[in-house]
Amino acid sequence: QARADTWNAALRCRLLGDTGAQVALGCPGWLFYRDGLRPQPGAGSTVFAQRIRLMQHWSQQLKAQGVQLLVVAVPDKSRIEQAHSCGLRYSAPMRERYGMWQGALAEAAVPYVDLLPVLQAGEVPVFFNTDVHMNRIGAQRAADAVAARALPLLGGPGGQAFEQGPLSAPKPRMGDLIVLAGLEHAPPAWRPALDQEPEQEITPLRGGGLLDETPPVEVLLLGSSNGRRSLFGERLGNALGREVWNQSMDGGQFSGALLAAWPQRQQWPPSLKLVIWEFSEMALSLPLTDGEQAALADID
């Protein structure tokens, strides 16, 4: 059955340009996540207003604890790589929420990072062709922009040095959109070509002694899968001069990682100064999760 499903997906992709209900085919070799193009049912203006309430509440709670908050919404791939979408239609109201969200953050005096101009600059792609995430170029640009906004909140750069290893030769990378389209096991000629991406290591430098003190934890990253791809956390730590406590979560959507960490916040290290809350733009147009509904009920 699995083999039959793979060949069915391959035939639909090759002959009909159909990549299934979750994946949209753009220009040759480019795949896009449909949730980034149109909102899901049950995610209208009321849901957006409720997410603003959650943001206001969580920022106030962190401030009362003496911890600063920096919010990072990663613009959707379909917006940044629109030149490669070959006319895929998108929801204008969904796109407008990015600016509305930043307006709500400014009104609440919550620091945030606008990654739109950062990722739109230049001609090279900053997202993978067959994956929803930023590639190494996009991740580096985003990390540098987040660090530039975070450093004043931290009182300047830290003293932790990092070693950046050399780039390896490009290697094929299985994109999550290939998997969602059911083409992971399809013959290469029957699916879009895989991205070719070099590998690299970015590691903090240690003294090597048994009695070396571990640097105090000052930065906590509560993000989505963006925080776990393309060495984003490591690139951010290198730019900050501090190791980042990365608690990002695959499938975290709007607030999954934050909600998972929230019950333990009284046990966070007293040295913690800054929480960086990251999520994808499209998460603003998803229905409320059970955890978010429970958090709203607690506020009420």
In this prediction, residue 142 carries a pLDDT of 98
Minimal CA–CA distance to 108: which of 64, 56, 145, 147? 56
In this prediction, residue 136 carries a pLDDT of 97
By CB atoms closer than 10 A (0-12, 13-18, 19+), residue 108 is: middle
CA dist., res. 96 & res. 166, Å (int) = 40
Do the beta carbons of residue 273 and residue 154 sit within 8 Å?
A: yes
How many CB atoms are located within 10 Å of the residue 106 CB? 11
CA-CA distances (angstroms) from residue 33 to 26, 38, 279? 10, 10, 15
- % helix, strand, coil for the chain, step of 5: 45, 15, 40
Per-residue pLDDT tens over the stretch 242-280: 999 999 999 999 999 999 999 999 999 999 999 999 999
Position 278, amino acid: E
How many CB atoms are located within 10 Å of the residue 132 CB? 25
Give the angle subtended at the CA of 153 by the CAs of 151 and 155, to the nearest 5°.
65
**Taking the model in full, what pTM does it have?**
0.94
Minimal CA–CA distance to 146: which of 263, 215, 49, 246? 246
User: Is residue 41 pLDDT above 90, yes or no?
Assistant: no
Per-residue pLDDT tens over the stretch 133-151: 999 999 999 999 999 999 9
Calculate mean pLDDT across residues 222-236.
97
User: Is residue 209 pLDDT above 70, yes or no?
Assistant: no
Per-residue pLDDT tens over the stretch 65-79: 999 999 999 999 999
Per-residue pLDDT tens over the stretch 272-300: 999 999 999 999 999 999 999 999 999 98
Do the beta carbons of residue 120 and residue 77 sit within 8 Å?
A: no
